[in-house]
Amino acid sequence: MTKFYLTTAIDYVNGAPHIGHAYEKIQADVLVRHFRQRRDDVYFLTGTDEHGIKIQKTAASRGITPKELCDENAQKFKEAWAGLDISYDKLIRTTDKDHEAIVQKIFQKLKDNGDIYKHSYTGLYCSGCESFLNPRDLTEDGLCPDHLKKPEEVKEENYFFKLSKYKDRIIEHIKNNPEFIQPEFRANEVLNQLEHIEDISVSRSKESVNWGVPVADDDSQIIYVWIDALSNYITALGYDTENPSEMFKRYWPADVQVIGKDIMKFHAIYWPAFLMALDLPLPKTILAHGWITIDQTKMSKSLGNVIAPKDVMETFNLSQPDAFRYFMMVTAPSGKDGNYSDLDFKERVNADLANNIGNLLNRTLNMQVKYFDGEIKPEFITSSDNEIAKAAMQTVTLVKERFDKYEVAEAAQEIVNFSNIVNKYVNDTAPWGLAKEGKMQECANVLYNVLESMRFIAAMLAPYTPNISQDIYEQLNRTEKAVDVKLDNLKWGEIPAGKITEKEKIKPVFLRLDSEIAGAAKKA
Protein backbone atom coordinates (compact mmCIF):
# COMPACT_ATOMS: atom_id res chain seq x y z
CA MET A 1 0.00 0.00 0.00
CA THR A 2 1.06 3.62 -0.50
CA LYS A 3 2.81 5.54 2.26
CA PHE A 4 1.24 8.26 4.39
CA TYR A 5 3.40 10.99 5.95
CA LEU A 6 1.83 13.48 8.36
CA THR A 7 3.48 16.35 10.21
CA THR A 8 2.28 18.86 12.78
CA ALA A 9 3.49 22.35 13.48
CA ILE A 10 6.38 22.29 15.93
CA ASP A 11 5.48 23.89 19.25
CA TYR A 12 7.38 26.88 20.56
CA VAL A 13 8.83 25.92 23.94
CA ASN A 14 8.63 29.32 25.58
CA GLY A 15 6.00 27.88 27.93
CA ALA A 16 4.06 24.75 28.81
CA PRO A 17 1.51 23.06 26.52
CA HIS A 18 -2.16 24.07 26.69
CA ILE A 19 -5.29 22.65 25.07
CA GLY A 20 -4.68 24.65 21.89
CA HIS A 21 -1.48 22.66 21.39
CA ALA A 22 -3.36 19.50 22.40
CA TYR A 23 -6.12 20.11 19.84
CA GLU A 24 -3.66 20.03 16.96
CA LYS A 25 -1.76 16.99 18.21
CA ILE A 26 -4.94 15.00 18.88
CA GLN A 27 -6.27 15.90 15.43
CA ALA A 28 -3.02 14.71 13.87
CA ASP A 29 -3.03 11.55 15.96
CA VAL A 30 -6.62 10.70 15.02
CA LEU A 31 -5.76 11.16 11.34
CA VAL A 32 -2.67 8.99 11.65
CA ARG A 33 -4.45 6.24 13.57
CA HIS A 34 -7.22 6.16 10.96
CA PHE A 35 -4.78 5.90 8.06
CA ARG A 36 -2.88 3.17 9.88
CA GLN A 37 -6.18 1.28 9.64
CA ARG A 38 -6.00 1.65 5.86
CA ARG A 39 -2.31 1.68 4.93
CA ASP A 40 0.77 -0.25 5.94
CA ASP A 41 3.37 2.53 5.78
CA VAL A 42 2.49 5.54 7.93
CA TYR A 43 4.90 8.04 9.53
CA PHE A 44 3.92 10.70 12.06
CA LEU A 45 6.25 13.60 12.89
CA THR A 46 5.83 16.24 15.56
CA GLY A 47 8.37 18.42 17.34
CA THR A 48 9.43 21.51 19.22
CA ASP A 49 10.69 24.88 17.95
CA GLU A 50 13.52 25.97 20.22
CA HIS A 51 15.32 29.01 18.81
CA GLY A 52 14.58 32.74 18.75
CA ILE A 53 14.42 35.92 20.75
CA LYS A 54 11.56 34.85 23.07
CA ILE A 55 13.50 31.81 24.29
CA GLN A 56 16.58 33.97 24.71
CA LYS A 57 14.73 36.60 26.78
CA THR A 58 12.75 34.13 28.92
CA ALA A 59 15.88 32.15 29.77
CA ALA A 60 17.75 35.35 30.69
CA SER A 61 14.90 36.48 32.96
CA ARG A 62 15.13 33.17 34.83
CA GLY A 63 18.91 33.12 35.03
CA ILE A 64 19.29 29.91 33.03
CA THR A 65 20.68 29.13 29.58
CA PRO A 66 18.35 28.95 26.55
CA LYS A 67 19.19 25.26 26.17
CA GLU A 68 18.22 24.57 29.78
CA LEU A 69 14.88 26.29 29.20
CA CYS A 70 14.34 24.28 26.01
CA ASP A 71 15.18 21.00 27.71
CA GLU A 72 12.80 21.76 30.57
CA ASN A 73 9.84 22.72 28.40
CA ALA A 74 10.42 20.15 25.65
CA GLN A 75 10.06 17.51 28.36
CA LYS A 76 6.70 19.03 29.37
CA PHE A 77 5.46 18.65 25.80
CA LYS A 78 6.65 15.04 25.65
CA GLU A 79 4.89 14.24 28.91
CA ALA A 80 1.69 15.95 27.74
CA TRP A 81 1.62 13.95 24.51
CA ALA A 82 2.29 10.71 26.36
CA GLY A 83 -0.66 11.50 28.64
CA LEU A 84 -2.90 12.01 25.60
CA ASP A 85 -1.74 8.82 23.82
CA ILE A 86 -0.23 10.76 20.91
CA SER A 87 1.38 8.01 18.84
CA TYR A 88 4.07 9.95 16.98
CA ASP A 89 6.96 8.14 15.32
CA LYS A 90 9.43 10.96 15.94
CA LEU A 91 9.57 14.17 17.93
CA ILE A 92 12.21 16.44 16.43
CA ARG A 93 13.80 19.31 18.35
CA THR A 94 15.31 22.17 16.38
CA THR A 95 18.25 22.10 18.80
CA ASP A 96 19.11 18.60 17.56
CA LYS A 97 22.63 18.81 16.15
CA ASP A 98 21.83 16.91 12.96
CA HIS A 99 18.93 19.29 12.28
CA GLU A 100 21.09 22.36 12.84
CA ALA A 101 23.80 21.04 10.51
CA ILE A 102 21.35 20.48 7.65
CA VAL A 103 19.72 23.88 8.19
CA GLN A 104 23.12 25.45 7.64
CA LYS A 105 23.53 23.44 4.42
CA ILE A 106 20.06 24.45 3.22
CA PHE A 107 20.83 28.11 3.88
CA GLN A 108 24.14 27.82 2.05
CA LYS A 109 22.57 26.10 -0.95
CA LEU A 110 19.92 28.81 -1.27
CA LYS A 111 22.66 31.42 -1.00
CA ASP A 112 24.86 29.70 -3.58
CA ASN A 113 21.87 29.47 -5.97
CA GLY A 114 21.31 33.22 -5.72
CA ASP A 115 18.02 32.95 -3.79
CA ILE A 116 19.52 34.60 -0.68
CA TYR A 117 21.21 38.02 -0.68
CA LYS A 118 22.37 40.51 1.96
CA HIS A 119 20.48 43.76 2.42
CA SER A 120 20.20 46.64 4.92
CA TYR A 121 16.66 46.89 6.17
CA THR A 122 14.42 48.89 8.49
CA GLY A 123 11.20 47.16 9.41
CA LEU A 124 8.56 46.47 12.04
CA TYR A 125 9.35 43.27 13.92
CA CYS A 126 6.84 41.34 16.06
CA SER A 127 8.64 39.03 18.48
CA GLY A 128 5.38 37.13 19.05
CA CYS A 129 5.12 36.23 15.37
CA GLU A 130 8.90 36.00 14.97
CA SER A 131 8.23 37.97 11.80
CA PHE A 132 8.61 41.37 10.16
CA LEU A 133 5.22 42.94 9.50
CA ASN A 134 4.06 45.27 6.77
CA PRO A 135 2.38 48.48 8.05
CA ARG A 136 -0.77 47.59 6.07
CA ASP A 137 -1.07 44.37 8.09
CA LEU A 138 -1.36 46.21 11.43
CA THR A 139 -4.52 47.25 13.24
CA GLU A 140 -5.72 50.85 13.18
CA ASP A 141 -3.75 51.35 16.41
CA GLY A 142 -0.55 50.06 14.79
CA LEU A 143 -0.63 46.72 16.62
CA CYS A 144 0.09 43.19 15.46
CA PRO A 145 -3.39 41.75 14.74
CA ASP A 146 -2.52 38.39 16.35
CA HIS A 147 -0.66 39.52 19.47
CA LEU A 148 -2.14 43.03 19.88
CA LYS A 149 1.28 44.46 20.63
CA LYS A 150 3.12 47.24 18.88
CA PRO A 151 5.96 45.83 16.76
CA GLU A 152 9.48 47.07 17.33
CA GLU A 153 11.23 49.12 14.64
CA VAL A 154 14.38 47.23 13.72
CA LYS A 155 17.25 48.42 11.52
CA GLU A 156 19.71 45.69 10.55
CA GLU A 157 21.76 44.25 7.73
CA ASN A 158 20.28 40.81 7.17
CA TYR A 159 20.12 38.10 4.57
CA PHE A 160 16.94 38.09 2.49
CA PHE A 161 15.24 35.33 0.53
CA LYS A 162 13.83 36.12 -2.93
CA LEU A 163 10.27 35.19 -2.06
CA SER A 164 8.87 37.46 -4.80
CA LYS A 165 10.69 35.31 -7.37
CA TYR A 166 8.35 32.39 -6.58
CA LYS A 167 5.11 34.36 -6.25
CA ASP A 168 3.64 33.39 -9.63
CA ARG A 169 4.59 29.72 -9.28
CA ILE A 170 2.93 29.51 -5.86
CA ILE A 171 -0.25 31.18 -7.14
CA GLU A 172 -0.35 28.78 -10.09
CA HIS A 173 0.16 25.79 -7.80
CA ILE A 174 -2.66 26.83 -5.45
CA LYS A 175 -5.07 27.39 -8.34
CA ASN A 176 -4.17 24.13 -10.09
CA ASN A 177 -4.21 21.98 -6.95
CA PRO A 178 -7.41 22.60 -4.94
CA GLU A 179 -6.37 19.94 -2.39
CA PHE A 180 -3.17 21.86 -1.55
CA ILE A 181 -4.85 24.17 0.99
CA GLN A 182 -7.59 22.69 3.18
CA PRO A 183 -10.22 23.70 4.04
CA GLU A 184 -10.60 25.26 0.60
CA PHE A 185 -11.91 28.57 1.96
CA ARG A 186 -8.41 29.28 3.31
CA ALA A 187 -7.00 29.35 -0.23
CA ASN A 188 -8.45 32.79 -0.99
CA GLU A 189 -6.82 34.21 2.14
CA VAL A 190 -3.44 32.96 0.95
CA LEU A 191 -3.97 34.24 -2.58
CA ASN A 192 -4.81 37.68 -1.16
CA GLN A 193 -1.61 37.64 0.91
CA LEU A 194 0.39 36.70 -2.18
CA GLU A 195 -0.76 39.84 -3.98
CA HIS A 196 1.45 41.98 -1.71
CA ILE A 197 4.27 39.52 -1.05
CA GLU A 198 7.83 40.83 -0.77
CA ASP A 199 11.25 39.31 -0.17
CA ILE A 200 11.68 38.20 3.45
CA SER A 201 14.45 38.39 6.02
CA VAL A 202 15.97 34.97 6.71
CA SER A 203 18.62 35.99 9.23
CA ARG A 204 19.06 38.27 12.22
CA SER A 205 22.12 40.06 13.48
CA LYS A 206 23.80 38.29 16.41
CA GLU A 207 23.63 41.61 18.24
CA SER A 208 19.82 41.27 18.20
CA VAL A 209 19.43 37.49 18.49
CA ASN A 210 22.18 35.12 19.52
CA TRP A 211 20.12 31.99 20.25
CA GLY A 212 19.82 30.18 16.95
CA VAL A 213 21.68 28.41 14.16
CA PRO A 214 24.64 30.51 12.94
CA VAL A 215 25.09 31.25 9.24
CA ALA A 216 27.98 28.95 8.34
CA ASP A 217 30.17 31.50 6.57
CA ASP A 218 29.06 34.67 8.35
CA ASP A 219 29.61 34.69 12.11
CA SER A 220 27.68 37.96 12.51
CA GLN A 221 24.33 36.39 11.50
CA ILE A 222 21.87 33.86 12.95
CA ILE A 223 19.53 31.95 10.62
CA TYR A 224 16.05 33.35 11.03
CA VAL A 225 13.36 31.16 12.51
CA TRP A 226 11.34 30.16 9.44
CA ILE A 227 14.10 28.47 7.44
CA ASP A 228 15.17 26.77 10.67
CA ALA A 229 11.69 25.78 11.84
CA LEU A 230 10.07 24.81 8.53
CA SER A 231 13.01 22.67 7.47
CA ASN A 232 12.28 20.22 10.30
CA TYR A 233 9.74 18.48 8.07
CA ILE A 234 12.54 17.26 5.81
CA THR A 235 15.55 17.20 8.16
CA ALA A 236 13.65 14.75 10.39
CA LEU A 237 13.60 12.36 7.43
CA GLY A 238 17.34 12.68 6.83
CA TYR A 239 17.22 15.24 4.02
CA ASP A 240 20.65 16.42 2.97
CA THR A 241 21.40 18.88 0.18
CA GLU A 242 24.05 16.50 -1.16
CA ASN A 243 22.88 12.97 -0.35
CA PRO A 244 19.25 12.65 0.89
CA SER A 245 18.51 9.52 2.91
CA GLU A 246 16.41 6.60 1.76
CA MET A 247 13.86 7.55 4.41
CA PHE A 248 13.51 11.01 2.85
CA LYS A 249 13.02 9.49 -0.59
CA ARG A 250 10.44 7.11 0.87
CA TYR A 251 8.22 9.63 2.67
CA TRP A 252 8.63 13.06 1.07
CA PRO A 253 6.47 14.83 0.01
CA ALA A 254 4.23 14.94 3.06
CA ASP A 255 0.65 13.84 2.49
CA VAL A 256 -0.69 16.36 4.97
CA GLN A 257 0.87 19.03 7.19
CA VAL A 258 -1.41 19.96 10.11
CA ILE A 259 -1.05 23.55 11.33
CA GLY A 260 -2.97 26.36 13.01
CA LYS A 261 -4.63 29.01 10.86
CA ASP A 262 -2.38 31.71 12.37
CA ILE A 263 0.74 30.28 10.66
CA MET A 264 -0.91 29.66 7.29
CA LYS A 265 1.18 32.27 5.48
CA PHE A 266 4.45 30.69 6.54
CA HIS A 267 3.36 27.20 5.46
CA ALA A 268 1.43 28.04 2.31
CA ILE A 269 3.78 30.76 0.98
CA TYR A 270 7.24 30.69 2.59
CA TRP A 271 7.53 26.91 2.80
CA PRO A 272 6.53 26.20 -0.84
CA ALA A 273 8.99 28.88 -1.98
CA PHE A 274 11.84 27.31 0.02
CA LEU A 275 11.00 23.90 -1.43
CA MET A 276 10.82 25.27 -4.98
CA ALA A 277 14.21 26.90 -4.49
CA LEU A 278 15.60 23.55 -3.29
CA ASP A 279 13.97 21.82 -6.29
CA LEU A 280 11.86 19.61 -4.00
CA PRO A 281 8.20 18.60 -4.41
CA LEU A 282 5.58 20.41 -2.36
CA PRO A 283 3.44 18.71 0.30
CA LYS A 284 0.14 17.41 -1.03
CA THR A 285 -2.02 19.21 1.56
CA ILE A 286 -1.63 22.00 4.12
CA LEU A 287 -4.46 21.47 6.63
CA ALA A 288 -5.23 24.54 8.74
CA HIS A 289 -7.34 24.15 11.87
CA GLY A 290 -9.05 26.85 13.88
CA TRP A 291 -8.47 27.96 17.45
CA ILE A 292 -9.91 26.64 20.69
CA THR A 293 -11.57 29.25 22.88
CA ILE A 294 -12.39 28.83 26.57
CA ASP A 295 -16.01 29.59 27.42
CA GLN A 296 -16.20 31.52 24.12
CA THR A 297 -13.16 33.64 25.06
CA LYS A 298 -9.74 33.50 23.43
CA MET A 299 -7.10 31.94 25.70
CA SER A 300 -4.87 34.54 27.31
CA LYS A 301 -2.38 34.50 30.16
CA SER A 302 -3.59 37.95 31.21
CA LEU A 303 -7.17 36.63 31.51
CA GLY A 304 -5.94 33.57 33.40
CA ASN A 305 -7.98 31.18 31.25
CA VAL A 306 -5.18 29.09 29.77
CA ILE A 307 -6.03 25.42 30.36
CA ALA A 308 -3.61 22.51 30.15
CA PRO A 309 -4.85 19.06 29.06
CA LYS A 310 -4.02 17.65 32.49
CA ASP A 311 -6.33 20.27 34.09
CA VAL A 312 -9.32 18.68 32.35
CA MET A 313 -8.16 15.17 33.22
CA GLU A 314 -7.81 16.10 36.89
CA THR A 315 -11.08 18.06 37.06
CA PHE A 316 -13.08 15.05 35.88
CA ASN A 317 -10.88 12.42 37.52
CA LEU A 318 -10.14 10.73 34.18
CA SER A 319 -7.63 7.89 34.18
CA GLN A 320 -7.62 7.72 30.37
CA PRO A 321 -7.57 10.59 27.84
CA ASP A 322 -10.25 9.17 25.52
CA ALA A 323 -13.10 11.45 26.60
CA PHE A 324 -10.92 14.54 26.23
CA ARG A 325 -9.57 13.35 22.87
CA TYR A 326 -13.10 12.71 21.62
CA PHE A 327 -14.51 16.05 22.77
CA MET A 328 -11.65 18.04 21.28
CA MET A 329 -12.27 16.42 17.91
CA VAL A 330 -16.03 17.01 17.81
CA THR A 331 -16.09 20.54 19.23
CA ALA A 332 -15.28 22.21 15.88
CA PRO A 333 -16.19 21.51 12.23
CA SER A 334 -13.21 21.10 9.90
CA GLY A 335 -11.09 24.26 9.85
CA LYS A 336 -13.39 26.25 12.14
CA ASP A 337 -12.84 27.48 15.69
CA GLY A 338 -13.99 25.31 18.58
CA ASN A 339 -14.84 26.01 22.19
CA TYR A 340 -14.10 24.25 25.46
CA SER A 341 -16.23 24.55 28.57
CA ASP A 342 -16.62 22.08 31.44
CA LEU A 343 -20.36 21.91 30.85
CA ASP A 344 -20.06 21.27 27.09
CA PHE A 345 -17.40 18.64 27.73
CA LYS A 346 -19.49 16.77 30.28
CA GLU A 347 -22.70 16.91 28.26
CA ARG A 348 -21.15 15.83 24.95
CA VAL A 349 -19.08 12.90 26.20
CA ASN A 350 -21.92 11.70 28.44
CA ALA A 351 -24.34 11.81 25.51
CA ASP A 352 -22.10 10.15 22.92
CA LEU A 353 -19.76 7.87 24.85
CA ALA A 354 -21.79 6.90 27.94
CA ASN A 355 -25.47 7.10 27.02
CA ASN A 356 -25.29 6.30 23.32
CA ILE A 357 -22.40 3.90 22.71
CA GLY A 358 -21.52 2.61 26.18
CA ASN A 359 -25.08 1.96 27.27
CA LEU A 360 -25.89 0.26 23.95
CA LEU A 361 -23.11 -2.27 24.52
CA ASN A 362 -23.85 -2.76 28.20
CA ARG A 363 -27.55 -3.49 27.92
CA THR A 364 -27.06 -5.76 24.87
CA LEU A 365 -24.45 -7.90 26.64
CA ASN A 366 -26.70 -8.12 29.69
CA MET A 367 -29.56 -9.35 27.53
CA GLN A 368 -27.21 -11.85 25.87
CA VAL A 369 -26.42 -13.25 29.32
CA LYS A 370 -29.99 -13.08 30.60
CA TYR A 371 -31.60 -14.83 27.64
CA PHE A 372 -28.79 -17.01 26.27
CA ASP A 373 -26.30 -17.41 29.11
CA GLY A 374 -23.80 -15.25 27.17
CA GLU A 375 -23.61 -17.77 24.35
CA ILE A 376 -23.94 -17.22 20.59
CA LYS A 377 -25.16 -20.29 18.74
CA PRO A 378 -24.42 -20.77 15.01
CA GLU A 379 -28.03 -20.03 14.08
CA PHE A 380 -27.83 -16.65 15.88
CA ILE A 381 -25.28 -15.34 13.35
CA THR A 382 -26.98 -13.11 10.79
CA SER A 383 -26.06 -12.56 7.15
CA SER A 384 -24.91 -9.21 5.78
CA ASP A 385 -28.22 -9.00 3.91
CA ASN A 386 -29.99 -7.03 6.62
CA GLU A 387 -30.54 -3.30 7.10
CA ILE A 388 -28.25 -2.92 10.13
CA ALA A 389 -25.37 -4.74 8.40
CA LYS A 390 -25.82 -2.57 5.31
CA ALA A 391 -25.83 0.57 7.47
CA ALA A 392 -22.62 -0.58 9.17
CA MET A 393 -20.80 -1.09 5.88
CA GLN A 394 -22.15 2.20 4.52
CA THR A 395 -20.87 4.00 7.63
CA VAL A 396 -17.37 2.60 7.07
CA THR A 397 -17.48 4.07 3.55
CA LEU A 398 -18.73 7.44 4.82
CA VAL A 399 -16.07 7.61 7.54
CA LYS A 400 -13.33 6.85 5.01
CA GLU A 401 -14.66 9.54 2.68
CA ARG A 402 -14.66 12.07 5.52
CA PHE A 403 -11.10 11.22 6.49
CA ASP A 404 -9.98 11.47 2.87
CA LYS A 405 -11.03 15.12 3.15
CA TYR A 406 -9.51 15.36 6.66
CA GLU A 407 -12.94 16.06 8.17
CA VAL A 408 -12.31 14.60 11.60
CA ALA A 409 -15.34 16.04 13.43
CA GLU A 410 -17.64 15.10 10.57
CA ALA A 411 -16.29 11.52 10.50
CA ALA A 412 -17.04 11.17 14.22
CA GLN A 413 -20.59 12.35 13.57
CA GLU A 414 -21.05 9.59 10.97
CA ILE A 415 -20.15 7.04 13.66
CA VAL A 416 -22.57 8.61 16.15
CA ASN A 417 -25.27 8.67 13.47
CA PHE A 418 -24.82 4.92 13.01
CA SER A 419 -24.98 4.31 16.76
CA ASN A 420 -28.24 6.27 16.78
CA ILE A 421 -29.56 3.97 14.06
CA VAL A 422 -28.61 0.92 16.13
CA ASN A 423 -30.18 2.34 19.29
CA LYS A 424 -33.40 3.02 17.38
CA TYR A 425 -33.24 -0.52 15.99
CA VAL A 426 -33.05 -1.94 19.54
CA ASN A 427 -35.98 0.18 20.71
CA ASP A 428 -38.06 -0.67 17.63
CA THR A 429 -37.41 -4.43 17.73
CA ALA A 430 -37.57 -4.63 21.56
CA PRO A 431 -35.60 -7.87 22.05
CA TRP A 432 -36.84 -8.03 25.65
CA GLY A 433 -40.37 -8.18 24.27
CA LEU A 434 -39.41 -10.88 21.77
CA ALA A 435 -37.95 -12.95 24.60
CA LYS A 436 -41.09 -12.47 26.68
CA GLU A 437 -43.17 -13.73 23.73
CA GLY A 438 -40.88 -16.74 23.37
CA LYS A 439 -39.47 -15.56 20.01
CA MET A 440 -35.94 -16.53 21.01
CA GLN A 441 -34.52 -16.91 17.49
CA GLU A 442 -35.65 -13.40 16.54
CA CYS A 443 -34.37 -12.05 19.84
CA ALA A 444 -30.99 -13.73 19.31
CA ASN A 445 -30.68 -12.32 15.78
CA VAL A 446 -31.38 -8.79 17.01
CA LEU A 447 -28.76 -9.05 19.75
CA TYR A 448 -26.22 -10.43 17.29
CA ASN A 449 -26.83 -7.51 14.93
CA VAL A 450 -26.23 -5.08 17.78
CA LEU A 451 -23.04 -6.82 18.96
CA GLU A 452 -21.66 -6.87 15.42
CA SER A 453 -22.55 -3.18 15.10
CA MET A 454 -20.61 -2.49 18.30
CA ARG A 455 -17.57 -4.21 16.77
CA PHE A 456 -17.80 -1.89 13.77
CA ILE A 457 -18.33 1.17 15.96
CA ALA A 458 -15.34 0.33 18.16
CA ALA A 459 -13.05 -0.11 15.14
CA MET A 460 -14.11 3.15 13.49
CA LEU A 461 -13.95 5.02 16.81
CA ALA A 462 -10.52 3.63 17.76
CA PRO A 463 -8.53 6.59 16.33
CA TYR A 464 -10.47 8.90 18.68
CA THR A 465 -10.83 6.63 21.71
CA PRO A 466 -8.20 3.86 21.55
CA ASN A 467 -8.74 2.72 25.14
CA ILE A 468 -12.54 2.69 25.11
CA SER A 469 -12.52 0.89 21.76
CA GLN A 470 -10.18 -1.72 23.15
CA ASP A 471 -12.44 -2.19 26.18
CA ILE A 472 -15.36 -2.76 23.80
CA TYR A 473 -13.35 -5.34 21.86
CA GLU A 474 -12.40 -7.17 25.04
CA GLN A 475 -16.05 -7.25 26.19
CA LEU A 476 -16.91 -8.71 22.79
CA ASN A 477 -14.29 -11.39 23.50
CA ARG A 478 -12.11 -10.24 20.60
CA THR A 479 -8.42 -11.13 20.61
CA GLU A 480 -7.25 -8.54 18.06
CA LYS A 481 -6.50 -4.92 18.96
CA ALA A 482 -9.19 -2.43 17.96
CA VAL A 483 -6.58 0.09 16.78
CA ASP A 484 -5.03 -2.53 14.47
CA VAL A 485 -8.22 -3.43 12.63
CA LYS A 486 -7.97 -2.72 8.91
CA LEU A 487 -11.18 -1.01 7.86
CA ASP A 488 -11.11 -2.54 4.40
CA ASN A 489 -11.12 -5.98 6.02
CA LEU A 490 -14.18 -5.35 8.20
CA LYS A 491 -16.79 -7.92 7.27
CA TRP A 492 -20.17 -8.69 8.80
CA GLY A 493 -20.62 -11.87 10.81
CA GLU A 494 -17.14 -12.26 12.27
CA ILE A 495 -18.22 -12.62 15.90
CA PRO A 496 -18.16 -16.43 16.00
CA ALA A 497 -20.43 -18.91 17.71
CA GLY A 498 -19.49 -19.66 21.30
CA LYS A 499 -19.45 -18.07 24.72
CA ILE A 500 -19.06 -14.31 24.32
CA THR A 501 -19.35 -13.11 27.92
CA GLU A 502 -20.40 -13.77 31.51
CA LYS A 503 -22.34 -11.59 33.90
CA GLU A 504 -19.33 -10.68 36.07
CA LYS A 505 -17.30 -9.57 33.04
CA ILE A 506 -19.81 -6.95 31.92
CA LYS A 507 -18.89 -3.44 33.00
CA PRO A 508 -19.44 0.07 31.60
CA VAL A 509 -16.77 1.04 29.07
CA PHE A 510 -17.34 4.71 29.88
CA LEU A 511 -18.93 6.02 33.07
CA ARG A 512 -21.09 9.12 32.97
CA LEU A 513 -19.01 12.00 34.31
CA ASP A 514 -21.67 12.91 36.88
CA SER A 515 -22.40 9.34 38.00
CA GLU A 516 -21.89 8.20 41.57
CA ILE A 517 -19.43 5.54 40.40
CA ALA A 518 -17.43 7.97 38.25
CA GLY A 519 -17.14 10.41 41.13
CA ALA A 520 -16.38 7.90 43.88
CA ALA A 521 -12.59 8.14 43.72
CA LYS A 522 -12.70 11.92 43.62
CA LYS A 523 -15.06 12.11 46.60
CA ALA A 524 -12.85 9.75 48.59
CB 159 within 8 A of CB 150: no
Active-site option among 21, 51, 54, 310: 21
Active-site option among 118, 175, 249, 298: 298
How far apart CA 493 and CA 392 sit, in angstroms, is 12
How far apart CA 390 and CA 392 sit, in angstroms, is 5
How far apart CA 444 and CA 435 sit, in angstroms, is 9
In this structure, the number of other CB atoms found within 10 A of the CB of residue 218 comes to 14
Active-site option among 18, 25, 34, 54: 18
CA proximity to 491, closest of 360, 375, 396:
396
443 belongs to the catalytic site: no
21 belongs to the catalytic site: yes
70 belongs to the catalytic site: no
Return all residues near 348 (Cβ < 8 A) that are at least 6 apart: 327, 330, 331
129 belongs to the catalytic site: yes
| Residue 231 DSSP label | T
CB 304 within 8 A of CB 390: no
Active-site option among 97, 155, 301, 523: 301
CB 236 within 8 A of CB 92: yes
In this structure, the number of other CB atoms found within 10 A of the CB of residue 262 comes to 15
Q: At what angle do helices 167-176 and 185-194 cross, to 10 degrees?
A: 160
Active-site option among 118, 119, 147, 377: 147
CA proximity to 119, closest of 221, 195, 40, 17:
221
How far apart CA 96 and CA 99 sit, in angstroms, is 5
Active-site option among 25, 129, 265, 267: 129
CB 506 within 8 A of CB 475: yes
491 belongs to the catalytic site: no
How far is residue 419 CA from its own chain's centroid? 24
Active-site option among 54, 99, 126, 310: 126
How far apart CA 49 and CA 228 sit, in angstroms, is 9
Q: Any idea which residues carry the catalytic annotation?
A: 18, 21, 126, 129, 144, 147, 298, 301
